[in-house]
Amino acid sequence: MMAMGDDASGSRHDPADAAVERDPRVATSAAADVDLNAPSLYLNREIELLKFQERVLEEAEDPANPLLERVKFLAIVSSNLAEFYMVRVAGLRQMIDACVTELSADGLTPREQLRLVRKHATDLLKRGRCVYQQLHAELAKEGIRLLAYDELDEEQRRIADEFFDQTVFPVLTPLAFDPGRPFPHISNLSLNLAVLLRGPDGEEHFARVKVPRRLPRLVDVSARQTEAGGRDVRRAREHAFVWLDQLIAAHLDELFPGMQIVEAHPFRVTRNAEMAIQELEADDLLLTIEEGLRRRRFGAVVRVTITPGTPDAIRDILLRNLEVDPEDVTVLDPPLGLSDLMALTELDRSDLKYPPFVPAIGEPLASADPGDYYALLREQDILLHRPFESFDPVVRLVQNAAFDPKVLAIKATLYRVGRNAPIVQALLDAAREGKEVTALVELKARFDEESNIEWARALEAEGAHVIYGLIGLKTHCKALLIVRKEGGRIRRYVHIGTGNYNTTTATQYTDLDLLTADESVAEDASQLFNKLTGYALTPAFDVFSVSPGGIRPYLERRIRREIEHARNGRPAHIVLKANALTDRQTIRLLYEASMAGVRVELIIRGICCLRPGVPGVSENITVRSIVGRFLEHTRIYYFANDGDPEVLIGSADLMSRSLERRVELVAPVLDPRLKNRLKEVLDLYLADNVKARVLHADGTYHRVVPGEGQPAVDAQTELLKQAGALLQKK
């Protein structure tokens, strides 16, 4: 892999250089007698990811959250755990099969980790079933009933049977298993019924019925009443559903006429979803990824989920034909696949959801037309904090640029844009208008490959320059460049984000958008795109830091500068907000900073492998995780720098993959006004005593609660209030 910078930092001039060079001691450990590589100083990556899912599940348990929001959190945990098996458990299995003996940072072999992970994940899944039972009862009290087929009343059963006959039966395909008909392929995450039948001769047979994914898992059997005019409507605020797999099980005799249905039991299969792509051997990466998507359906099975009543005979058939070990079987109370509960969040029950909000557009954007944004950006940088502030100004800027006769070119990196992508549509319009459009579409964005392939083909069809990424790397940075001819000169306008160009997640994730016309930023943006599209092997960046090769030393220099400040008796303070902290080298350096007396405050949403509060090592480090209404996704890096603070934002987390195996971008916020605003945001998150959990030295998280006489502070709620104030001003 090529380094992205012209030196270790990727910058021509790094203001942290001089401070570090004055005292070479800052490059050494503050305490030579402490082994900062000791496994006891690190938490296990896989277990920490599961602990994050625990924190999400706590939100499903929390009665302070609206009921349907709790249902959503439970569905999210179920979906996330499925992905955990598809990716993380599958990865451990592959390491074991390949006889990998390398230990994790906390000193465990892959086999030891797999044993721990299986137990922790199973316990979490069972806890989720207990939460489901709680929610099931509370939903019923609110008129939302999830019923078994034998619980349906006469009218509900009539509706269910009619739906089965008209919609479900024509779609079903019963698959027998005998010497003439091999065991059917079970697709990833599919829900199935394992059916034991008995023929007229008394011989037992096995068959599989797949529950169709295209049909609603929760079948609405709500009783109707007739309005004037003969229109049927649901009774107000009453909803009744039956699970589709139970409905099918109740009608198996129609699928196997003449056979006796002995018993039927649901089961679910989870497969390895990782794609092994030999990029260097690929003639066409797009076609190679497409083939990988086809192969993903046939990945090795990593988990089979069954229910407690499943007999040994069916279990043995599944284990033998799916080629899995007994340890790969998870036994859970039904219903399986709780992620399908997400459908309930679509119900028109605003009384059971968070209060609606309208993302704000503050001044000066609120009173300006998109065509005026250029003049505004020449005067000042603009920072948006989604979802509290609207992502629309970014979309409008690109949409305007598509038809602006002064705009010559638009360049963008696209990672996860979703199916409905106004930004990509604007790029298509720009290409049709004859502008030079360049899009780096990352085809290797896991689980978004199919959508990205479609957008790449659409852009190519309109004549845009489409690049699929760099060999061996994922391009994860979020950058957009608009080149405009104004009078006799060329001006460039840049967007740098912490999140994707995705209008759906823009209302669900917290992210930052920086819009600027600063010349140094614009020059670096041009250098970045030249690197991504051509053979600019050693681009020189003035303000950007780009990985691989640039972000790690860039951040390390700033940490070491804070260490020097502390050693010289000056105040030293670091605040890092990211989604994950797993990189061992970064953790070691933060331990050094703590031992030197630097105050280190970490806001890490998900995985944190650093162990805070260890005497003599990390006493000056605190770690908190915020789990609330919105998924925390902002990356903000703050360095106090003896009263001249530096604040950075970007796409990179503190993970080895982000620093070494991805194209990531971190950029400084140069406007003092915006730097102060971001410090206020960090201070608000550090004051949160409602949705924050604090990590302790033993690896446990404890929820923060307000002290006696202390006001409750919910950072996300406060940011919503601030956004509401912007709307009122408008």
The answer to whether 551 and 476 are in contact (CB under 8 A) is no
Cα 378 to Cα 486, 517, 581, distances in angstroms: 12, 6, 36
d(CA 715, CA 283): 49
- Strand pairing partners for 11? 541
Q: Is the dihedral of CA 445, 450, 456, 459 positive or negative?
A: negative
DSSP state of 89: I
* Alpha helices per DSSP H over 601-690: 656-660, 672-687
Euclidean distance between CA atoms 576 and 668, whole angstroms: 14
Which helix or strand (DSSP H or E) is residue 136 part of?
helix 110-141
For tokens 């704000």, the residue is 360
- Side-chain-side CA neighbours of 28 within 13 Å: the count stands at 6
Residue with tokens 């899944």, as numbered in its chain: 125
Tell me the DSSP string of 560-626.
HHHHHHHHTT---EEEEEES-B--HHHHHHHHHHHHTT-EEEEEESS-B-B-TT-TTTSTTEEEEEE
Q: How far is Cα 472 from Cα 1, in angstroms, rounded to an integer? A: 7
Long-range contacts at 121-126 (CB < 8 A, ≥ 24 apart): 121/50, 121/81, 121/84, 121/85, 121/89, 122/330, 124/50, 124/53, 124/54, 124/57, 124/77, 124/81, 125/81, 125/330, 125/332, 126/332
Known catalytic residues?
476
Query: Counting beta carbons within 10 angstroms of the beta carbon of residue 391, is it exposed (0 to 12), middle (13 to 18) or buried (19 or more)?
Result: buried
Only one residue has tokens 């948006």, namely: 384
Q: What angle do CA 698, 700, 705 make, to 5 degrees?
A: 125
Q: Name the token pair of 712.
A: 């409750």
| CA dihedral of 569, 673, 553, 26, whole degrees rounded to 10 | 0
DSSP β-bridge partners for residue 665: 546
Q: Give dist(CA 470, CA 400) in Å, integer.
A: 30
Looking only at the bridges linking them, the beta strands covering 631-632 and 636-639 are unpaired
Q: In whole angstroms, what is the distance from residue 571 CA to residue 596 CA?
A: 11
CA 13 centroid distance within chain: 34
